Structure 1
C-alpha cells in the first residue's frame, strides 16, 4: 500500500491541483491496475469534495487549507478530503437530490454517492469526507485478507 498526502490552499485553483494529485497517486502506484475510468472517477469525486471544502467549510477562508490523503493498493483507492470546521455549526455532509437539473451547484455529494464504492464523513473529531473506489484486478481474492 502507498499513502500520499498534501495540503492545498483554500482557493478555487486548488481544486484542479487536488484532482491531479489524486489521479497521479493512483496511476503511480506500482501494482495499480486501476482502469482509466476509475482514475477519472477519483479525479471527479476529489474535485467535488475539494469544491465543497472551499465553499462550505472554514478551509475556504483567507489563509486556510484543506488536506487530501490517498491510500492506494492493487485493488482500490481510499481518498480523504480533510477540512477545517463547517461554516454552519452542526452541518454534516449529506446527499441532496438536485432540485433543478440545469443548476450549476448542488450535485457534489449526489455524484459521490452515485459513483463511489463507499463514502462517508470522517470520524466525529475530524472534519471532512472520504470515498473508496475499488476495481476488479482479475485475480482471485487472497483468502488471508478477504
Structure 2
C-alpha cells in the first residue's frame, strides 16, 4: 500500500457525490456515477475502474459507520492527464472498532477486495484527511 504524502495533483476535472449507506443500491449507483461522469468529461473509462470503485465502496459500507442506517459515503473523482483517481470517504470506524488491514489470504472467499485494488491500480492508500481510501488507475 502506498500512503499519499503529497496533496492531490491539480486535476483536469473533478467531481464529488454523496450516496446513502445502503449496500444493496449504493455500490451500483457509485459505479454508474463514476462511469457516467467520465463519459460526460469525454474520458474513456479505464477497464478496471468499475471493479475498483465497487470494492472500495463495498469496504466502506461493510467495515465503517457508512453502512449503518442514516450514514453515507462520499466519492470524489479526479481526472488527470495520465490517470484517474477515485477517493471514497467513509463515516469512520464502527463503534468499538479501529481501522486495520487484515492478513492477506488470496484463497479466502472474503476479504480480497484490497488485494484486487492493489493488483489493478497504479497507487492506492488511506486518505490524508478524514477516513477512507483512494485508488488511481492509468487512463
- Normalised-by-shorter TM-score class: 0.7 to 0.9
In 2, Cα distance between the equivalents of 1:90 and 1:111? 22
Query: d(CA) in 1 for partners of 2:136 and 2:92?
Result: 22
Structure 2 length as normaliser, TM-score? 0.82
Question: For residue 121 of structure 1, what is the aligned residue in structure 2?
Answer: 126
Partner of 1:132: 136
Flag as ranges the 4+ runs of structure 1 deviating above 4 A: none
Residue-pair matches, total:
126
Structure 2 residue 17 is matched with structure 1 residue 10: no
Selected match of 2:69 from 51, 58, 62 = 62
- Unaligned regions of 5+ residues in structure 2, if any? 1-11
Partner of 1:97: 105
For each residue in 1:31-82, what CA deviation from the matched residue of structure 2 results, as whole angstroms up to 9, or x when unmatched?
Answer: x3x3x5x2x3111101011111111000001000000100113421111000
TM-score, structure 1 as length reference: 0.78
Once the two structures are TM-superposed, the CA of residue 94 in structure 1 deviates from its matched residue by 5.7
Give 1 or 2 for the bigger CA radius of gyration: 1
Highest relative contact order (Cα 8 Å, sep 6+), 1 or 2? 2
Aligned CA-pair RMSD: 1.8
